[in-house]
């Protein structure tokens, strides 16, 4: 019965969402998430989707991204590394509600002038329609209520011009047992608690499709990936839901407030391109 329905975040809270947690505990928890992203499928799933989206990119163009619920900015770093390797130019706003995450994300992105970290709430995003080329989020949606998810997907669909990439965990028994065992090995008390709870709060592909339908999202593609993950991606403005299963075997700004206009911050904090930064370092 536990796995038939998604656990309500109100009755199954995650410690990582508690603003009273000490900074060091948050850092430990996000280091664990980085490990999971890097070694257990998260990064690979994102890069595969980026490769798809980048097929029509023209050389010399700069693409803008918003990553919501960024944590340690691990996904922005993944995008930036991938873009550098491919010779693409990107500017990324990494947004999180928690001050501790923003502080840690700024530390983690010191060598990435193309990433700007902004503190803000997904429910108060001031970004205008089509403000970013791409909106991205990973292991964030399960932090929201059902109603909050639909509202958030609608906002993503509105502010993304070219694509939306939503990644999260699959709710299944194997994933739960795996998370319980694996996260218990971590020295992070938060991760040991939140890992299995995250799985209980996560989704099946069918549920994800239903949220998309409720939000008016057209033609989402849901792919299942190694590490009990899925990615739901779509191009805004493009009616039927498709689902494919490709289970793969590989597998500072100063403190800104929610009043900050995300796209303005994108302009000001990530104006420097990689080349400009490299030139600066040379001089």
Ligand X SMILES: C[S@@+](CC[C@H](N)C(=O)[O-])C[C@H]1O[C@@H](n2cnc3c(N)ncnc32)[C@H](O)[C@@H]1O
Which residues contact ligand X (rule: CB under 6 A)? 16-17, 33, 37, 68-72, 74-75, 96-98, 101, 121-123, 138-140, 143
Output 27 or 212, the one with its CB closest to ligand X. 27
Residues 283, 279: Cα–Cα separation, whole Å:
6
Output 57 or 96, the one with its CB closest to ligand X. 96
Residues 130, 22: Cα–Cα separation, whole Å:
37
Q: Taking the complex as a whole, how short is the minimal distance between the CB of residue 73 and ligand X, in angstroms?
A: 8
Backbone region of residue 219 per phi and psi (left: phi > 0; alpha: psi in -120 to 50; beta: other values): left
Tokens of 257: 């407030």
Output 73 or 222, the one with its CB closest to ligand X. 73
Q: How far is CA 175 from CA 94, 126, 161, 200, 228, in A?
A: 28, 36, 33, 9, 6
For residues 239 and 220, the answer to whether their CB atoms sit within 8 Å is no
Output 70 or 269, the one with its CB closest to ligand X. 70
The bridge status of strand 62-68 relative to strand 132-138 is: parallel
Output 77 or 241, the one with its CB closest to ligand X. 77
Q: Taking the complex as a whole, how short is the minimal distance between the CB of residue 164 and ligand X, in angstroms?
A: 15
Tokens of 251: 């597998």
Q: Taking the complex as a whole, how short is the minimal distance between the CB of residue 78 and ligand X, in angstroms?
A: 9
Q: Taking the complex as a whole, how short is the minimal distance between the CB of residue 60 and ligand X, in angstroms?
A: 29
Q: Taking the complex as a whole, how short is the minimal distance between the CB of residue 125 and ligand X, in angstroms?
A: 9
State CA 189 to chain mean position distance: 22
Output 139 or 212, the one with its CB closest to ligand X. 139
What backbone phi and psi angles, to 5 degrees, belong to 56? -100, 15
Q: Taking the complex as a whole, how short is the minimal distance between the CB of residue 96 and ligand X, in angstroms?
A: 5
Output 105 or 241, the one with its CB closest to ligand X. 105
Q: What is the DSSP string of 47-67?
A: HHHHHHHGGGPPTT-EEEEEE
Q: Taking the complex as a whole, how short is the minimal distance between the CB of residue 244 and ligand X, in angstroms?
A: 22
Burial 53-64 (b: 16+ CB within 10 A, else e): beeebeeeeebb
């Amino acid at each position: 019965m536990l796995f038939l329905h998604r656990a309500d975040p109100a009755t199954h809270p995650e410690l990582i969402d508690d603003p009273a947690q000490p900074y060091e505990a948050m850092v430990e928890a996000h280091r664990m998430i980085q490990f999971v992203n890097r070694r257990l499928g998260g990064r690979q799933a994102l890069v595969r989707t980026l490769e798809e989206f980048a097929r029509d990119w023209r050389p010399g163009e700069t693409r803008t991204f918003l990553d919501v619920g960024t944590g340690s900015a691990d996904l922005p770093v993944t995008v930036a590394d991938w873009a550098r390797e491919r010779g693409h130019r990107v500017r990324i706003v990494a947004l999180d509600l928690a001050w501790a995450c923003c502080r840690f994300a700024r530390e983690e992105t010191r060598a990435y002038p193309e990433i700007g970290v902004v503190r803000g709430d997904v429910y108060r995003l001031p970004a205008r329609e089509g403000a970013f080329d791409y909106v991205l989020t990973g292991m964030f949606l399960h932090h929201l209520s059902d109603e909050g998810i639909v509202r958030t997907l609608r906002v993503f669909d509105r502010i993304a011009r070219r694509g939306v990439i939503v990644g999260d965990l699959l709710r299944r028994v194997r994933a739960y047992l795996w998370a319980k065992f694996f996260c218990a090995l971590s020295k992070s008390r938060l991760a040991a608690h939140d890992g299995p709870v995250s799985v209980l709060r996560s989704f099946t592909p069918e549920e994800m499709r239903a949220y998309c339908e409720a939000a008016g999202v057209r033609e989402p593609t849901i792919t299942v990936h190694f590490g009990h993950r899925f990615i739901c991606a779509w191009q805004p403005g493009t009616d039927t839901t498709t689902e494919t299963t490709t289970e793969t075997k590989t597998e500072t700004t100063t403190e800104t407030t929610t009043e900050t206009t995300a796209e303005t911050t994108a302009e000001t904090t990530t104006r420097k391109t990689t080349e400009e930064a490299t030139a600066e370092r040379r001089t």
